[in-house]
Amino acid sequence: MKPGLGTLGLRLLTGLCLGLLAVLLLLPVIALILRVPSGELFTRLGDPIVRQALVLSLEASLSATVIVILLGLPAAYLLATRDFPGKRVVEVLADLPMVLPPTVSGLALLLAFGRVGLLGHSLGLLGISLPFTTAAVVVAQAFMAAPFFLAPVRAGFAAVESRYREVAATLGASERYTFFHVLLPLSWRALVAGTAMSAARALGEFGATITFAGNLPGVTQTMPLAVYLELQNDLEAAVALSVLLLCVSFGLLLALRSARLGARFL
Amino acid sequence: MLDCRLVVRREGFTLEAAFLVAAGETLVLAGESGAGKSTLLRALAGLYDPAAGHIAVDGVRWFDRAAGISLAPDRRSVGWVPQDLALFPHLPVLDNVAFGLRARGERGSRARARAREALARVGVADLAARRPGQLSGGQQQRVALARALAGEPRLLLLDEPLSALDLPTRRAVRGELRRLLAELPCTTVLVTHNAVEALLFGDRIAVLEGGRIAQEGNRDELLRRPRSGYVAEFMGVNLLRGQLRGHGGDGLAEVLTADGPVIVAAPANVEGEIFVAVSPREITLYREAPVGSARNLYRGPVLEMVPEPPFGERVRVVLGTHPRLVADVTREAAVELGLTEGDEVYASFKATGTVTYP
C-alpha cells in the first residue's frame, strides 16, 4: 500500500469522527436555539412560572456555591497541606457525589435529613423540617456541587510550592496570613475554576433536587425542574427556560477559560 | 550568638553537628551534596525538627528536644534564603521585601520604607516596582537577600547563595555578599559545596563528612593543616598520615605511612602519629627517574589533567601514585614534559616542602 493512501484514509476517518462529534455535541444546542420564537424570549420571562423558577434557581445556586466555598476552602487547604491516616479514603469520599447517580444522592439526602432520616428526628425536635423546602434545594445543590469545587482547589493549593509557605513562615507570617497572602493569590485560577464549575453544577442540578426537595413551583421548582415540567404542557416555555440556562452556563465556562488564559504571572 | 547541636536521622543516615557561632560572625558549612547541609539550615529555621539536640540564639532557646521546646519558624528571628530563592511571584519586589514586616503587623507605609532601605542596602533600590519574573538571576539573589534581612533577623541562613547564578554574575555578587556579611550585625550560617566560596565567606569553616563535622577552623587551619582526607581533598591539599620515626641529625625525619616512608622536615616537639600536608605546588614531575637527592619519589600514571582558571596557566595533575598525589604545575612544564593522561611519570617533593602536625 502506498504511504499516501494510508494518510488519506486516516484523514478521511478523522474528518468523519469530527463531523459525527459535531453532530452529537453541537446539533442539539443549535436545535434548541432555532426553536426560540423570535422576540418571545423576553416575553416568556414575564411568565410567572418561568420567573419564579429563574429567581429560585439563581438564589439557590448562589447560596449553594457560597456554602460550598466557605465549607470547602478549609477542607481543600487541609487536604492539600496535611497528611493524616485515612486521607486517601477522605479524598475518595469527597469525590463520590461526582460519580453517584443524582437520584441516588437525593435518596441518600432523604435518609440523612428526611423526616425519618438519621438527623431528621433531631432536626424535627428543633422544629426544622428540611425536605420539600427551598433550603433542601440548597442542600441538594451544595451536596452535588461540592466535589467540583474541592477537586480543583485542592489541586491548586497543592500545586503551590511548599517553599513559598516555608519562606513566609521564616519571615514571620502566621499560617493564616500565609493562606490569605500567598496561597490564595497563587492559586486564584483554581479558585475561579472551582467556583465556576460548582456554580454550574448547582444551577444544572436536577435528580437530587427532585428526589430530596420535590417539585413545588415557587418553593423547590428550579429551572431544570421547570423545564422538565413545562415539557409536558408548554414546549415554548421549556425552550425559553432552556436557552436561558444555556446562556448562563456558557457565560460561566467563558469566565473559566478567560481565567485560565489570563496568565499574568506564573 | 548561635549555640546548637543538631542530630538528624534519616533512613540509613545519621547526621550530628554541634557548633558555636559568635555574634556577627559567619560560619560556613561545607560539604558535598547530600551531606545534610540544607537540612541543618532548615532545622535552624524551624522548618524541620531534629531528632535530638538544641538551638539557642542570643541566649533564647529556639529548640530543645529534651525540654520539649520548638519555636515555630514565625516565632524565630531568622532570615532564610533557600537555594531557589522562592521570591513570591505574585508580588512586586517591594512587597516581597516588605512581606515579613507586614506579616508581623507593621503599618504599610513604614513597612515599605524599611523595605526600600533593605533594597538599597543590597544595591537594588531601583527594582522596587518590578516583578520577580522580570529580574535577572543576580537581581533575584539580591532581592531575596533584602527580603531575608528586612526584618533584621538575629540569625541569617544562606543555602548555596551563589549556585543559581552564572559565572560572571557569581563573581560580582560574591564580592558584594562578602562585604555585606562583614558589615551585618547578625550571626550567619552559610552552606556551600564549593571550596572557593567556603574560603571566601567563612570566618570559620566546618567541613561535613560522613554525617559529622570532620574539621572546623579558620581558613589557614583548614588549608595548611587539614585533618582528614576529605578536608584535604576539599581544600586541594595532599595529605599523608603516619608514625614519626626518630629525628635524623640533618634536620630531617622519617614518617612511616601505609604507603611507605616519607622524609619530612623534622618537626619540633612532635611524636607519634602525625599528619604530613604537601601543597600540590611543591610536587615536581619527571619523565625519567631523576638522579640526585630527591628523597620522596613515587611512580604512577597520570589519571587526569585539569587546566586551572583563569587562563589555564597552571594545570592540576591527578596521579595514580601510592600515596595518591595531586600536582599543580605550570602549563609550560606540562607541555615540556609532554604529559597526557595515562602516561607513567615520577613525582617527588622535598622534605622541606612538607608541613607536619600532630
CATH number for the domain spanning B97: value is 3.40.50.300
Pick from B224, B245, B262: which residue ends a domain?
B224
Shared domain check, B35 and B148: yes
Note whether B31 and B93 are same-domain residues: yes
Distances (CA, A) of B341 to B125, B261, B321, B327, B349: 51, 27, 13, 13, 21
Q: Pick the closest to residue B189 from B179, B174, B204, B167 (CA basis).
A: B204
Q: Domain check: are B147 and B294 in the same one? A: no
Burial grade of A36 (CB within 10 A; 0-12, 13-18, 19 or more): middle
Q: What is the CA radius of gyration of chain A?
A: 23
Residues in A touching B73 (Cβ below 8 Å)? 166, 169-170
| CA triple B165-B171-B176, angle to 5 deg | 100
Span B114-118, average pLDDT: 96
| Residue B312 and residue B242 in one domain | yes
Contact A167 B86 (CB under 8 A): yes
B154 touching chain A per CB within 8 A? no
Instruction: For chain B, give the percent of residues with pLDDT over 70.
Output: 98
Which of A40-54, B247-261, B337-351 ranks highest by mean pLDDT?
A: B337-351
Q: Which residue in the block uniquely carries the three cell numbers 604529559?
A: B339
| B155 shares a domain with B31 | yes
Torsion of CA B49, B50, B54, B55, to 10 degrees: -60
Of B166, B192, B224, the domain-final residue:
B224
Residue-averaged pLDDT of chain B: 90
- Does residue B162 fall inside a structural domain? yes
Which chain A residues are closer than 8 Å to B147 by Cβ?
Answer: 171
Distance from CA of A125 to the nearest CA of B (A): 46
CA–CA–CA angle A212, A217, A220 (5° rounding): 30
Domain A50-100+131-261 architecture: Orthogonal Bundle (1.10)
**Minimal Cα–Cα distance from A262 to chain B, Å?**
13
Q: How far, in Å, CA of B62 to CA of B76, rounded?
A: 7
If you ran DSSP here, which 8-state letter would residue B308 be given? P
Domain boundaries, chain A: 50-100+131-261
- The residue from B182, B200, B224 where one domain ends is B224
Average pLDDT over residues B142-163: 94
- Give me the pLDDT at residue B358, please: 85
Which of B74, B90, B131 comes nearest A172 by C-beta? B74
Give the list of residues 6+ apart from residue B171 with CB closer than 8 angstroms, or none: none
The domain that holds B265 is classified in CATH as 2.40.50.100
Q: Does residue B342 register a pLDDT over 50?
A: yes
Does some domain include residue B229?
no
Higher per-residue confidence, B134 vs A44 = B134
Cis link prior to A3 (omega < 30° from 0)? Answer: no
Instruction: Give per-residue pLDDT as tens, B65-95.
Output: 999 999 999 999 999 999 999 999 999 999 9
Q: Do B202 and B277 fall into the same domain?
A: no
B211 with B253, same domain: the answer is no
What is the pLDDT averaged over residues B163-184?
86
The closest alpha carbon to A178, from B314, B33, B73, belongs to: B73
Tell me what pLDDT residue A261 has.
Answer: 62
Total domains in the fold of chain B: 2
Give B260-306 pLDDT, tens digit per residue: 888 888 777 777 889 999 999 999 999 988 877 667 999 999 999 98
Give yes or no: residues B110 and B249 share one domain. Answer: no
Whether residues B202 and B289 share a domain: the answer is no
Domain residues for the domain of B247 are 237-357
Specify if B40 maps to a domain.
yes
* CB atoms inside a 10 Å sphere around CB B273: 11
Kindly state the greatest CA–CA separation across chain B: 80
Q: For the residues B312-330, what does the mean pLDDT come to?
A: 90
Are B177 and B310 part of one and the same domain? no
Whole-model pTM: value is: 0.82
Closest residue of chain A to B84, computed from CA coordinates = A163
Residue of A nearest to B104 (CA): A172
Q: What is the average pLDDT across B203-216?
A: 90
